[in-house]
C-alpha cells in the first residue's frame, strides 16, 4: 500500500479538563488502526499523546478551564506527528530530573516526559517550553 500521498491532518482545541484526554487519544488511535499500524506503535502513541496532553492541562494550564490546549496531528505516509500546546508559562525540559537515577527511582512521579522521550522517535520543545512536537515513524 502506498501511503505516501495520503495526508491527514486535524487541529483540535480542548478546554483544560482531563476528561478530554481519552477522547483525543481514541480519535487518533482509531485513524491509525484503520491504517493497520502495529500494536506496539499504537501503544506508544496512545501513551505519549495522553501523557503530553495531561501535562499541558495539569502543569501547563494548571487545570484552568478557560485555558485551552491545542492539539494538531498529522499523518503523512509513514510519519505521525502531533503538536501539543498549552497557554502556560512553559518550562525548561532540560532541567527535569532523570527518574531512573538514584532515589528518583522510588518517586511517585516524574516518568511521563521521560517515557515520551524514549518511546517517540523525535521530541521537540519550543524555546518557551509550552509546546511540544512528537514524531513517530509508523
Partner 1 sequence: MAIKTENKNGLTVCYVEGEIDINTSPDIKKNFEKILSKKAPSMVINFSKVTYVDSSGLATLVEILKDMRTYGGKMKLCNLSPKIKSLFEITKLEKLFEIIADEKDAL
When binding is defined by CB under 8 A, the residue of 45, 50, 82, 132 that contacts partner 1 is 50
> Is there binding between residue 20 and partner 1 (CB under 8 A)?
no
The stretch among 7-15, 45-53, 79-87, 126-134 that binds partner 1 (CB under 8 A) is: 45-53
Task: Please state, in angstroms and as integers, the Cα–Cα distance from residue 19 to each residue in 15, 50, 77, 122, following that order.
Answer: 10, 11, 30, 27
Residue selected from 37, 56, 57, 119 as contacting partner 1 according to rule CB under 8 A:
119
- Stretch of 9-17, 27-35, 84-92, 98-106 contacting partner 1, by CB under 8 A: 98-106
Full DSSP string of 5-46: T-EEEEEEEEES-GGGHHHHHHHHHHHHHHTT--HHHHHHHH
Torsion of Cα atoms, 136 then 127 then 52 then 91, to 10°: 150
The CA-based angle 35-46-74, given to 5 degrees, is 55
What separation in angstroms does the CA of 64 have from each of 14, 52, 99?
Answer: 12, 16, 27
**Beta carbon of residue 94, minimum distance to partner 1 (angstroms, whole number):** 19
**Binding segment (CB under 8 A) for partner 1, from list 2-10, 85-93, 104-112, 122-130:** 104-112
Given the rule CB under 8 A, which of 6-14, 60-68, 69-77, 115-123 is the region that contacts partner 1? Answer: 115-123
- In the complex, what is the shortest distance from the CB of residue 19 to partner 1, in angstroms, rounded to a whole number? 10
- Residues forming the site for partner 1 (CB under 8 A): 18, 22, 39-40, 43, 46-47, 50-51, 54, 99-100, 105-109, 111-112, 114-115, 118-119
Amino acid at each position: 500500500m502506498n501511503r505516501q500521498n495520503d495526508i491527514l491532518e486535524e487541529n483540535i482545541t480542548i478546554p483544560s479538563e482531563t476528561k478530554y484526554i481519552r477522547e483525543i487519544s481514541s480519535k487518533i488511535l482509531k485513524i491509525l488502526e484503520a491504517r493497520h499500524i502495529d500494536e506496539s506503535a499504537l501503544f506508544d502513541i496512545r501513551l505519549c499523546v495522553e501523557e503530553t496532553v495531561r501535562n499541558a492541562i495539569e502543569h501547563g494550564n494548571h487545570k484552568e478551564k478557560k485555558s485551552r490546549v491545542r492539539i494538531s496531528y498529522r499523518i503523512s505516509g509513514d510519519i505521525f506527528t502531533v503538536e501539543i500546546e498549552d497557554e502556560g508559562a512553559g518550562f525548561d525540559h532540560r532541567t527535569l530530573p532523570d527518574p531512573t537515577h538514584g532515589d528518583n527511582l522510588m518517586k511517585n512521579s516524574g516518568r511521563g516526559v521521560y517515557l515520551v522521550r524514549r518511546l517517540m522517535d523525535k521530541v521537540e520543545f519550543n524555546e518557551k517550553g509550552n509546546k511540544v512536537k512528537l514524531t513517530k515513524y509508523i
